[in-house]
Structure 1
Amino acid sequence: MPTMRYCILQQETELIFVEMPADYAYQLSALILRLNKEVDKLTADNVPALPQAVAECDSLDLLRESDQIAGGLDYINRLEQSFSSIQETSYPLISLLTEIRALQAQLEQWYEEAAEESESLL
């Protein structure tokens, strides 16, 4: 079983728990930090609200039934969709989308390889 890490993000008063392959958790945290640094430069009206990266941890036990763990690829897919819908003219949005899509591609490959590995064990 591959090692997973958890990225804890905070959007306003809500905590978001994202399960990531251990080798990619830091990349998600760094991406969120970078997006937060750049998002104020966007001039479009439909810029999505971004969470803040709060913490990373190796294990996570949720104690409230209302909390859920988001899969890393699902989370990055939603992030990519929200940024690809921005109608930006003044800021080079493509550089931010490129960073999001690079992590997205890495995660897609990781999940494909993990699925193949688990099938070969059966």
Structure 2
Amino acid sequence: MRYLLLQEGTALQFVAMPESHMYQLVALFKRLHKEIDKLTIADRPKLPQVVAECAELELLDKGLSVADGLDYVSELERRFASLQESQYPLISLLTEIRALQAQLEFLREEE
């Protein structure tokens, strides 16, 4: 298992991902950050900054928690699927998010 540290404003968030799929989540964030400004809607979703990736994590602050990778990607999919974008081809971003989501669902079923 690997952990991704995300920062949105002053808030920190940790996401646990299988090591075999962490690179896909990082690449997905890079693509989303690159494409988010191309959306024509006024209410663009906020994206956290990717701060770090690590193999081990020990949280000392009781107020922090680790989000499951599939749960996090599923929430990301819901946020982007709900956008009312008519100009930018949002389907390409959703396809990437859903592909990772499907792979994580398959891994969970295999466990």
Fold conserved (TM > 0.5)?
Answer: yes
Identity %: 59
Corresponding position of 2:27: 30
CA distance in 2, matches of 1:99, 1:111: 19
Corresponding position of 1:89: 86
Determine helix, strand or coil for the equivalent of 1:61: coil
2:2 is aligned with what amino acid?
A: R
CA distance in 2, matches of 1:49, 1:33: 14
Give 1:53's match in structure 2, choosing from 30, 50, 58.
Answer: 50
Corresponding position of 2:37: 40
**Displacement of 1:46 after TM fit?**
3.1
- Indicate if the aligned counterparts of 1:33 and 1:52 stay in contact, CA closer than 8 A: no
CA RMSD of aligned residues (A): 0.8
Give me the TM-score of the superposition, normalised by structure 2.
Answer: 0.96
**Displacement of 1:59 after TM fit?**
0.5
Tell me if 1:73 matches 2:70: yes
Q: Using CA pairs under 8 Å that are at least 6 residues apart, name the structure with larger relative contact order, 1 or 2.
A: 2
Determine helix, strand or coil for the equivalent of 1:111: helix
Give me the TM-score of the superposition, normalised by structure 1.
Answer: 0.88
CA distance in 1, matches of 2:9, 2:33: 13
CA distance in 2, matches of 1:12, 1:109: 33
Give 2:102's match in structure 1, choosing from 98, 102, 105.
Answer: 105
CA distance in 1, matches of 2:44, 2:83: 6
Tell me if 1:15 matches 2:3: no
Structure 1, gaps ≥5 residues long: 115-122
**Displacement of 1:84 after TM fit?**
0.2
